[in-house]
Structure formats: structure tokens, C-alpha cells
A and B are shown apart, each in its own frame.
Chain A
Amino acid sequence: MSLLTTLARLEAVRSGRAEPLATVRHRHLSERPMVLVPLTAAGESGAPLAVMLGTDRDAPRLHLVPQPLNRTLRFDFLAALAADLLPYLESFGEDVEQIEGSEKDPETGEKTQVFRELCTDAPQLIVPNAAGVHHLALIGRSTRFRRTAEDAEPGPHPAPLRVPLLGRWLTHLTDRAQVPGSSLLLPMTGLLARHWATGQSHLEDQHLAARLAWHFPPPGLTGAQAAELAESERDEHGQLVHPPAGPATDPAFDAGVLAPAIARYDAAVNALQHSTEQGDEAAAEHARAAVRSAVEHLERALRAVLLPTWRDVWQGLDLLRTLPPAGHLEERWTGDRWSYTGHRDRLAAGEPPQPRQDDAVTAARKLAQREREQARLDVQEALDDPLAMAEHRLSGEAFSGVVTEVVLEYDTTGRSPKPRPLVTLRTADRPHADLGREAHRVHGPSAQKARIVAVDPAEGTVTLRVLSGMGRKKEPEPGSLPEPGEPVTFTLFELTVRQSAPLPEPDDTPWTHGGPPGTAPVAGPSATGPSATVAASEDWE
């Protein structure tokens, strides 16, 4: 945590309210986000219990598994979720623009013009917290290898048709969520944490309701008091007034509400089975009604426990929309659109599901991408938001000041003299400005590089020799240099992100990394087997 964030948190303690950490919104928000609040059944990893979702805050839809241990019911749930979510995810695949690019012919080296489709928009899923993202990843992992009745060998328990497809989408979205600055799938707690500080710790901020309590404390309460109520206030039945945002449920809810409701459902189902076996139609009719009633009872219980979080997520979206969008959002969202389009294309091309584990090359490529995007995000946030730039100024990696003097000088070592003017500025910042270090001008008319040639900490002045961004002529282009009296900011880090070095194709994986995938037994505890055998070995009961 930086000192600036700490300061904002300290201020929040004093004011009892959340305090800003950004002047603009640093993540893209869709006009039609899909909010998704999942719940998981305790004790079993990735076992879904329920989900509330929708793009309309007034019309949440609920899907649930009345008996989480029952495979068929779980498949029913996943099929219903797929039927609900896939149309939304797929709806962005139609509308495309053509992007012009060039491709190098590997044989001749000739460049040819090519057009690629890019979807004009992409889906956006918002879940309450980071654990929600992880839960979706588990669902993705547990379903994408499932075989369906359409497979050549469907196995004893074929999944409903669209379930594996749901798994592949969830896998793609959760994987993309690992890329810094991406916005296809976002946790609300993370979104809020980027933009506001509360007067509590990051750990406590993971509780969405407690976090929001700092934004909207009831009259007469401080944020801390309101947050504590959100965490721990219970009704006369010992149930939390504001249930946790999940996906794990409160143990008291499991014991006091859920277990009896599931037991009631189980009993009704048993009665139905018994009466059907006995051929007792009247009893069966009665039992069917009892099953329906038990399911409705479960629905009411789960709806009640999900709705507060559902509203919280939408309230969080309202809050975020009060901030103006940052300048580079479009550019980063374009990256998300490419990611979405790419997955659409892979599905269309009939490629197999994402493997259980990345091969060496894919893992390295993803790491390179994440590092590149992290660097891009840091730079863009700093350019978009003076509060983000302030972090760099505080850490000595940037400095702002007012130009006091510009002296035109020339480099005459070459054939024709080049302008190499000296710019002096007065600053109260204390950059790690070692002599000779490169600096980069922020918000200049074009990219401009300079070298630090003199620093006078006592006077608070820094002098830089400008090296580029002045045009090609002998004299600097008018307006390309800052003028005396003008405020300027320089960074000691580059403002463009370097490309990542090329990696081999997976089929060219070298001996140091085990050779091409599948050619050698992979060391380590988690040997990757062919994915086709996975489904058969996994049962859910």
C-alpha cells in the first residue's frame, strides 16, 4: 500500500466515509452489464447452490440446485444457467467491424493486406467479489470437459448440450480477468477498491456490504459502525441481516435455513418416489405438490439471501458511473473486444476446450501479456488521472513543475545541427533524478524524450536536455517545447509499453521445458493427461 492510499484511508477513518482514490473511472463499464451473484454449497469445491443474474436490476432471475449433491439436479441447474447466460454472451458476436492489417507471407516475406473481424462490443460480467470470479472458474473447469449426448461416446452421465459451452465461456472470462486492466469480468469489491478508500483494511473491504457501508452509512453512524453492522447484525433467528456476498454462505444460514429446507425437499422427493412406486396416484399428486412447495420454499430462502448483494452490486455500479471515464478506457476495452472476438472464433472453428493446464509456451505467453498489460495500465492510469500520477511523483518516478527557462542549444556533431534545447523547471517534487537519466514529457503535443542534465535540490530546479519530439527541422516545431511559465510533468519511466519478445510455438518447445507438449512425461505433481479422459474419472457424488 502506498503512502497516498494510506493517507486516503486515514482520512476515511476521520470522516467516517469513503474517500476518493481516483478522479476518473479506470475500468470500462458496459451499458448493459450482466450482474451475476453466485452461491456455492459448503464443503464441496465448486458445487453450485444458486445464482442470481440479469441485466435489469429490477428483474433478477434465480436458478438453484434444490439438492446440491444430486448430479442430475446440478446438470439441470447448469443447463438453465447456460440457457440464460449464453444468449447474452453470444449476442455480441454478430455486430462486427473490419479491421485492416497486414500479414507477412512466411515463404516470400511479402506483406499482404488482410481484414480481420472485430466485434464492436463485448459482454461484461460483474460479480460481487474476487471469490465470485474464482467460483466461476471452478464451474468452468468442472463443465468444459463434460461429454454430452452429441459426443461419440457420451459416457454414463452425459451433460446437457450447452453445458460444456458454458464452461468454455466461463473459463475464457475468468482467464481474461487475470489480465490487468481487463473488463470482461470484474469483481465489484475490486472496482470499488480501485476508486475509493475506506477507513478499514483491505481484508475487511472484501465484504461488499461492509465496503459499501462506508459509502452510504445510515444517518448517525460512521462508516466503521455501519460496516460492523453489515458484518455482524443478526435477526431474532440468528440470521445475518445482511448476508455475505458469497459465494460461500453463512454457516448459520446453512444450519438454520438451508439444511431444513433441503431436508424438506428430500423428504418430498422420497415421498413422491415411494408413491410412484406404489402406483398411488393420489399420494403422488400430493407429493408433487409438496416437492413444488419445497422448491418454492428454497427459492424464497435463497432469493432473500441473494437480493441484498444483488442490490449492492447495482449500487456499486451507480457509484462508479458518477466518475467520468478515463481517457484510455476505449483503448483497453478494444483489447477486451479482441479477446472476446478471438474466443468466438475459436469456438466457431471447432477448437477443443481449453486444456486443464497451460503448456509451457502458453503459460509464458500469458505471463508476458499480463506483465505488458500491467505496465500499460500503470502508464495509462498515470496519464489519465493526476491522483495516479501523484503516486509516481511521491515515489520519485515523476515530477511536475513550472518551466522557468528554455535555452535553445544545438547538437552540431552530425552533418546538420539538431535542436537540443535545455528546459529548466522549478518543482517541489523530489525525483530520483540521477544525472543522465532519461525523462519523458507527459501530455506534450507529441512523445518527447529528454535527459536530466542538472539538478539543484536546494533551489528546487531540474534542467533537462530535450532530445526528441521537436520535428525534423533545424528549429523546433512551434509549440513542440513548453514555454516559461507553463506547467509540465516528466516521468522517469517510459510512456509506451515495450513489446514482449517472441516465444517459440508450442510444437517447438525446447528440451529445457520438456519438449513439445505430449512428447515426454511431464515432471511435477500435476501431470497433464489428455483432457478426453478427464470427464470419465470425475463423478460428483
Chain B
Amino acid sequence: MNVSTNVPLGGHAEPLAQRLAELRGPAPQRSLNARSLAALAANPGCRRRAVLDAAGVDKSVLAARLGRPAPFGQSPFAIARGLVFESRLKADGYAALLEPLRAHLGVPADDRAPLLVPDLLHRSGPAVRADRTAEALARAAADPDAWTLLDHPMLRLAVAGSTAYLEPDALVVHGGRCTVVEIKSFPVLDGGADPAKVGAAARQAAVYVLALQHAAAAAAGLPLADDPYTEQRLPGSPRTSVLLVCPKDFGNRPTAVAVDVRRELATTRRQLSRMTGIGRLLAALPPGTDFDLATDEDGAPARSTEQLTAAVEAVPAAYSPDCLSTCELGFHCRARARCDDRVEQLGRGVRGELGSIRTVAEALAAASGAGTPDTAALDADDTDGAHEAAERLAYAAALRAEALGTGHPGADRLGTERNPAGA
């Protein structure tokens, strides 16, 4: 339920933005929106994803070109239901939306101050819309008694050298401050909702809150507070609790729930500040690397699959099985992790057990009592630690062999064979 556009800063693009544009080639930029900015937190250790996202490369298209398309898609039924819910909400002068909002903002039921819904010039370009939103917000904040609803406002946020335009579902302005409203079509059932979905919504809403905080601080001529938990109470600044509006139980009636996004706000701030460090990653790319997904007039791709594969390989990934559900390249990276025999293919947690052992072959060699194959390659200090992991693996393998009654070189030293049925 949000659309946004990304526009490089007018005319003289900064060198970083320039470099990112080169990486992407002439293909249209995948715009950074609140959802994609929130997704930066999913696997911040992945340089591959960081570079591709920063450059606005369409990872879906890229994954298809690499031969393992992303399995993501949305059912037409789900889309239809989402649209129906949102349009119902806004019918009748936003009555369905307003009732839960009033309850949450603690406004007496008999407060019948008229709801102002300024025109935000939805047909204009993003820059015009953003300016209009800023004006409307300032005007609404100036009158603490008024109730103003900004329907699909447009917000600006500077991200790694370019301006991202963000479009929340709505903002409610009252008492000189504003509240972000996020409309979702998953239900709130008996007061609870799918925690993963609420978490994603909270991270997305936090991006809007951050954009509004920047704007409010800038308007007041102040820097943004250093501490992410500090709520600056400035004219028009956002509350750090957002309102999540969802269908209630099994019906279509809306319910609004306040969600405290201070924690997500802190996360968003640090992920965005990392984006500016992207230059370091770009510098490490081999010269001439790009992810040009464009095709010429005959439909012939500008880059061959081999070239794209090589370009993707040039940026290291941090694969974990979670990527399969959060990143378009998940299947590609899984195949690479399997080819490389990496232990990460089994899950993030596995590495914690294995210390410095990184491949399945190494781990199994250690388990068979053959020791770590690369002992010579390790410096003297490292052998200790690797030895510890290897020893534990060998011990585990001996226990496993004993229990399964299979032969194992280490099984003898345990010296026992018990009757599993016991007495």
C-alpha cells in the first residue's frame, strides 16, 4: 500500500549516487521505499544485498537472469482484500478510521471538531507533493485543537546521497504533533496479531517516523537528537507510537492498535547510517563491474548471464536460510553456499557450534577424528580453538555412533554398549 519514487538530487549528482547509477546501468531504478529501507535490517551483514539495494538494482529480474527466480508473489485475492479494506476505511469521510483513532489518541467521544482533509496534490510529482505535505503539516500543527488527516502524504528522506520519497498511508495531526497511521490487511484477532507481520509493519512505520523527525528538527533549526530513544517534542514532530489499523477478528471492521516503534526507530537510524558506508564496498569491486539488466531493442541483454553471475560473485554475500524468505537472491545464494560446502546452509545457529570450522567437509573430517585438515594453514594460536571444536565434534560423533550401533573409530573409547530397551 505504498508507492514511491526515487529521484537523484537535481543536476549534479553526488559521486556516490553517480557510482551507484553506473552499477545499475540504464535500467529503471528500483526506488527506495519504506519497505525496502526497513528490509535493510533483515541481513545487514550481507554486502551483496547492500550494494544491490543501494544501487537500486531490480533483484527480482536479476534473480531470474541468474536462473533461480525469486518465488515471491502476492495472491490476487490478498491484493483485492487489501484494497477493499483500505477503501472501506476511507469511505464516509474517514468515519471508520476516525473512531478507533479518537479512542487511541484519548479524545472524548463528543469531540466533534470537523476533520480537515487538505488536498495533497496526488497527481503531481513527488517533489511538489512533498512540499505540499510539509506545508499542510505545518499548518495543521499550528492549531492544536484542529483534527487534520493527511491522506497519503509524501515525505522526503535523504539516503546515501539521494532523496527517497516515502508515502505513508496517513498522518493524523492533532495537538501540534502528528501520528503515523499504517493500514494493514492482516487481522487483529482477540487483541493479538502475527508478531512477524506486526514487526515488519513497525519497521516500515519507523522509517516514516524518522523522516518526520528529520523534517521537524530541520524546520525548528535543530539537529536530530543524538540518542535514538529521545523524543523531540517539536511542532509537527511525530509521536514515537504509531497506529496500526487492521481488520478486527474475522470481519472487516477496523481496529487501531498503538505500536511503540522506538526500538525500530533506533534500528532504522543505524541501518541508514550504514548506507553511507557503501562507498567502501564499492571501492572493493573489480573495475568495470556492473549489474546492467537492460536489453537492447531486439531484446538482447546488455550483459550475459555469465557476466552477471561474475558481477554478483564479486560482492560477498552472507547467506543464511532466512534469506529465502526475505531476499530475491536467496535461492541463488543458497546454491552458491551449497557449492562452496559452507556450513551456513544449515542455518545461522550452526556456526556457533563449530567455531572457526567453515565447511561441511572440514566439520565431518573433524568428527571422524581426522582432525582439522587445514591445521598447517592456521597460525599457532588458532589450532587451540579449532582443536576444541574438532574434539567436541569427534566426541559427538562417537556418542552418535554408539547410540546408532554403527561402527565409528571413536566409539571404542567410550567403551560401553548399552541395551537401549533397558530394564
Contacts and interface: CB of A to CB of B under 8 A. Distances in A.
Interface of A: 1-4, 6-11, 13-14, 20, 23-24, 41-47, 68, 138, 141-142, 199-204, 224, 228, 231-232, 249-252, 254-255, 258-259, 327, 356-357, 383-387, 389-390, 393-394, 400-402, 426-430, 442-445, 487, 489, 524-527, 534, 537-541
B364 interface: yes
A525 B191 contact: yes
Contacts of B367: 7, 10
A444 B422 CA distance: 8
Interface residues of B, number: 68
Contacts of A389: 403
A23 B413 contact: no
Nearest to B325: A203
14 contacts: A13-B345, A13-B346, A42-B81, A43-B77, A201-B321, A203-B322, A250-B73, A385-B420, A390-B399, A390-B403, A394-B396, A428-B413, A487-B416, A541-B252
Contacts of B190: 141, 356-357, 526
B70 to A, nearest CB: 10
Contacts of B404: 20, 23, 387
Residue among B353, B363, B416, B423 with max Cβ neighbours from chain A (10 Å): B416
Contacts of B77: 41-44, 68, 254, 258-259
Interface of B: 68, 71, 73-82, 185-187, 189-192, 249-253, 257, 321-322, 324-325, 331, 335, 338, 341, 343, 345-347, 349-350, 353-354, 360-361, 363-364, 367, 392-393, 395-400, 402-404, 413-423
Contacts of A445: 423
Contacts of A357: 190-191
Residue among B414, B420, B421, B422 with max Cβ neighbours from chain A (10 Å): B420
Contacts of A13: 341, 345-346, 360
B75 A251 contact: yes
A10 B360 contact: yes
Given A23-B404, A42-B78, A199-B346, A393 B191 contact: no
A43 B81 contact: yes
A441 to B, nearest CB: 10
A202 B420 contact: no
B417 A7 contact: no
B402 A538 contact: no
A80 to B, nearest CB: 19
B364 A11 contact: yes
A89 to B, nearest CB: 23
A4 B399 contact: yes
A14 B364 CA distance: 9
Nearest to B85: A43
Contact of A204 (B324, B398, B400): B324
Contacts of A251: 73-76, 78
Nearest to A232: B71
Contacts, number: 185
A7 B393 contact: yes
Nearest to B394: A7
Contacts of A1: 347, 349-350, 353
Nearest to B363: A10
Nearest to B413: A428
A203 B338 contact: no
A387 B404 CA distance: 7
Residue among A1, A46, A201, A224 with max Cβ neighbours from chain B (10 Å): A201
A211 to B, nearest CB: 13
Residue among B79, B353, B360, B403 with max Cβ neighbours from chain A (10 Å): B403
B400 A6 contact: no
A10 B418 contact: no
A255 B403 contact: no
B75 A43 contact: yes
B402 A43 contact: no
A429 B418 CA distance: 14
B347 A141 contact: no
A224 B321 CA distance: 13
Contacts of A534: 249
Nearest to A529: B190
A330 to B, nearest CB: 14
A239 B420 CA distance: 48
Contact of B249 (A200, A231, A232, A538): A538
B421 A487 contact: no
A400 B414 CA distance: 8
